[in-house]
Amino acid sequence: MSNIANPFGQVLVALVTPFTADGEVDWPGVEKHIDDCINAGADGIVVTGTTGETSTLTDPEKLRLVEVGRSVAAGRAKIITGGGSNETAHAIQLYKASEKAGADGVMIVTPYYNKPTQAGILTHFRMIADATDLPVLLYDIPGRTGVPIRYETILRAAKHPNIVGVKDAKGDFAEVSRVLNQTDLLYFSGDDTNVLPHLSIGATGLIGVTANIAAAPYRTIVDAVNAGDLATATAAHKQLEPLVRAVMTHVPGTVAAKYILHGLGRISSPRVRLPLVGPEDTEAALIEDELSHVGQIPGVDFSSFRPDRNAAAGGALPKVHGTTR
């Protein structure tokens, strides 16, 4: 385990951003959903990340999500702002504004699309970390960004005093062990399937999509691992497996999570913003089939699940579009 004091907690939810049926942010729905997640055991909320549809949120929406999160959490959970930008200057501007809005930490995704070299990635991270006093997590998700953060780059970034951890969605366990052995970085599992394996080799916690629906079992897993109780952790892991499969396998996790949350009556609409669209009938059928294998999960009653494929169909064009600057 890392020797760095953990400023974030261990069970972090990669929050979906609830929208109305016409694709505008459902602010009362955001407040309710954050409160639900905290009450279910989350001790950190990551707003405006991949799951929050950061690519199609405007900067004012991102900052308001930080403000609303801080207000709802009221000290019960940390609020981390995710996302960022593939333009370093814009990312610096956004994170400075997020700090003023009350964020407890920032999560910097590897610059996407422009595919910088490792030197460019490192410079991007260092310049953002220089521009904020908040603790910084690096977000390594090459499946979306096109470029991994290489081991050597992580080691160099770890020397920056504000860079305290990594969200790992790469799934290279040998590299995770190597970094944990040679740095004091906090490691957070960014892959819902591998939360328990990550924790078993020394990861700090998780930043999970499925935790939007069921944070309580992740709390159980983390607390059991902390207590050295592998049997309890494994039982909770098995309990979650079909739900994780439903959320993370057939469509983007954001789409599936909103579809399920709406079917459970926990958000008012399953709407996502284009180019994301709701599940097609065949995809919805696969999600629903996976859910049929879910047993008893604390805090979730699937006997009341009522999916609405028509409400989820298509995607929304919001009145004010997201911008890169």
Task: Considering the candidates 95, 139, 187, 218, report the single residue annotated as catalytic.
Answer: 139
What distance in Å separates the CA atoms of residue 257 and residue 225, rounded to the nearest whole number? 26
First to last CA, the chain: 38
Name, in order, each residue with C-beta under 8 angstroms of 182's C-beta and a sequence gap of 6 or more.
155
**How many other C-beta atoms are found inside a 10 Å radius of the C-beta of residue 195?**
30
What distance in Å separates the CA atoms of residue 110 and residue 261, rounded to the nearest whole number? 29
Name, in order, each residue with C-beta under 8 angstroms of 159's C-beta and a sequence gap of 6 or more.
none
Q: Are 10 and 205 in contact, with CB atoms under 8 Å apart?
A: yes
Four-residue CA torsion sign, 282, 287, 291, 293: positive
Q: Among this protein's residues, is 151 annotated catalytic?
A: no
Q: Are 81 and 56 in contact, with CB atoms under 8 Å apart?
A: no
What distance in Å separates the CA atoms of residue 270 and residue 277, rounded to the nearest whole number? 10
Task: Considering the candidates 62, 78, 95, 167, report the single residue annotated as catalytic.
Answer: 167
Q: Are 270 and 254 in contact, with CB atoms under 8 Å apart?
A: no
Which residues does the annotation place in the binding site for pyruvate? 51, 207
> What angle separates helix 27-39 from helix 59-73, to the nearest 10 degrees?
40
Determine the 3-state secondary structure of 232 from DSSP. helix
Q: Among this protein's residues, is 112 annotated catalytic?
A: no
What distance in Å separates the CA atoms of residue 183 and residue 198, rounded to the nearest whole number? 16
Q: How many residues does the chain have?
A: 325
Determine the 3-state secondary structure of 109 from DSSP. strand
Half-sphere exposure of residue 34: CA atoms within 13 angstroms, side-chain side: 29
Backbone φ and ψ for 17, nearest 5 degrees, come out as -100, 105
Determine the 3-state secondary structure of 28 from DSSP. helix
Nearest to 198 by CA among 183, 184, 218, 182: 218
The residues annotated as belonging to the active site are: 139, 167
